[in-house]
A and B are shown apart, each in its own frame.
Chain A
């Protein structure tokens, strides 16, 4: 009897272009995909996030162009690297004069260095699909003891229906360097499309890296990000993740802290409406002593939207005197909105200070009444309160041009003023 193997993953990737010259990373990813399946809600990590209906679709990898003017951030004055459907578009990109920054195709990334760095970290089916079939992306080098003259804006646009965008990026912040990366994600006519992003990096000793990420794709898309950053000793890593887009968003963010005296900060703001499902999974893995981490994610969920937060902090046995702070706060604006929040601390060391908390609540009716009693309509009162709630996280975005852009977006999309 012949056994028919029904492998959904291989079927999913069947039509994707196989690059002629496969790098080791590609080959390994392709090989790994053979034995894989898509996650179901029976798997703990995907308990609240159901991807089945999305991965049944047949996505295509196609190049396209887009009107980048709509997505430029005024006054950001950045190196602007544009990716349409996961393909780098040189004609839409601008690389400025900057002796601290070297930007190259992701395929030029040193494989031995890379495999050594990510050795032992976990992959999932989506990161593997990306690594096997990525169509473009950049390897960014911030040079030793230098500060980038400009922020680096990775501007992603998905254009077209049932498209998959597999962009893969890597940033190497060398010893003592400093840089800011802005990653934005947009879409046009993108019914049922899929952004499948991998963004990884290495923050070396004494380096400082800030990433501001803003995803505003149409509410008919699937967006899955897999992010991994490794910190060496005395480094600083800050990432702010702002999510208002896609029908289903899954942000997977892992930070491995591989040295003493590091500071890690991750903040997130997610705003769901209609039937959106916004999932943030984070991990901070503390392997060495004397490190601090601070994590604050805040969600505002309206309509029938669902929020998921799972924030894990692991403090390994040898990591003493760790201070880890984590909070997840949520406001539900509608009776039909919901949030599943799960902060997790796994502590194996004995001298650590960790705190975590999670709240899910409604807007304070006493505060609404107070504002109304001053002549403010109920609608505006709610907007003021929501803006006040989420403003605390947005204040972590120090780049003024970007912040102005975010404020604009929130005013346009939600009517929220800051």
Chain B
């Protein structure tokens, strides 16, 4: 589904952040990307989602047969890409469900489907908000305005449930969540998981991986994936930190 080859990306000021990153993700898989702060995890998410301000200097990203890097951010979403933001943005005056209705209809138009009916849309809102136990009132309030940290993260997964992406990248969705919220959000994500879609979990805590079981765990350090393993690797990282991998790769 997603094939990243030798990806190099710099910020506009010229500093290279991603330095030859490779990653293969297939439908039905869950990948965890772990790594110390500043290693480039969010940059990877931004480059994949199509945020302005990054320049890809080398490499390629194929997303189900299309050249992802060629597409505008909105078209990537229309192709089935979703990013749950590490820091969700507050948008005063724009109602959560109104903007989702616009999004769903633009996505449907892109796929040459009919607009969603009011009835179907409301049913969807109900299911999606139940999934992450998001208060009904929050669903219709202005996007993230006055939401607590945990509510913002839940809102991201609520949106994921509404948009039903092929590939969801969850950037530190677990950080700042208390244990109850973590369980709710994780269970929500697990219910959304299927053989047809894939999930990339960006995190630096292994505790999320107790709830959402990854098929692969990758370690990202200084813009490269330096080690790939299974769930056990995450436990090892929790125990020993990241330094031993750097030493191992240095040898």
Chain A residues in contact with chain B, CB under 8 A? 364-367, 369-378, 380-381, 384-385, 387-389, 391-392, 417
Contact = CB atoms under 8 A, between A and B. Distances in A.
B11 interface: no
B94 interface: yes
Interface residues of B, number: 32
Nearest to B81: A373
A416 to B, nearest CB: 11
A378 B163 CA distance: 18
Q: Which 8 A-B pairs have the closest CB atoms?
A: A388-B93, A375-B77, A388-B94, A372-B73, A374-B103, A370-B89, A375-B107, A372-B74
B198 to A, nearest CB: 17
B52 interface: yes
A374 B85 CA distance: 11
Contacts of A387: 93-94
A417 B101 CA distance: 12
Interface in B97-132: 98-100, 102-104, 106-107, 110
A367 B107 contact: no
B72 interface: yes
Contacts of B82: 373-374
Contact of B94 (A372, A378, A384): A384
Given A370-B91, A373-B49, A392-B92, 8 more contacts: A369-B51, A372-B72, A374-B103, A375-B106, A377-B106, A384-B94, A385-B94, A389-B93
Given A369-B52, A369-B73, A370-B85, A376 B103 contact: yes
B159 interface: yes
Interface string B192-232: 00000000000000000000000000000000000000000
A65 to B, nearest CB: 41
Nearest to B93: A388
B83 A371 contact: no
B248 to A, nearest CB: 36
A365 B74 contact: no
A371 B159 contact: no
A210 B73 CA distance: 45
A291 to B, nearest CB: 29
A94 to B, nearest CB: 36
Contacts of B50: 372-373
Given A380-B106, A384-B102, A373 B73 contact: yes
B47 to A, nearest CB: 12
B74 A378 contact: yes
A377 B99 CA distance: 12
Given A369-B51, A373-B77, A385 B103 contact: no
B99 to A, nearest CB: 6
A374 B72 CA distance: 12
Given A369-B73, A370-B85, A376 B99 contact: yes
A376 B104 CA distance: 8
Given A365-B52, A380-B102, A384-B99, A374 B163 contact: yes
6 contacts: A370-B88, A373-B50, A376-B74, A384-B99, A387-B93, A387-B94
A417 B106 CA distance: 14
B78 interface: yes
B27 interface: no
Given A385-B94, A388-B142, A375 B103 contact: yes
B116 to A, nearest CB: 13
Contacts of B106: 375-377, 380
Nearest to A386: B93
A120 to B, nearest CB: 41
Contacts of A417: 102
Interface string B133-175: 0000000001100000000000000010001000000000000
A124 B100 CA distance: 50
Nearest to A371: B99
Given A376-B99, A384-B99, A371 B91 contact: yes
Given A372-B73, A372-B77, A384-B102, A364 B163 contact: no
A375 B74 contact: yes
A277 B103 CA distance: 35
A242 B66 CA distance: 47
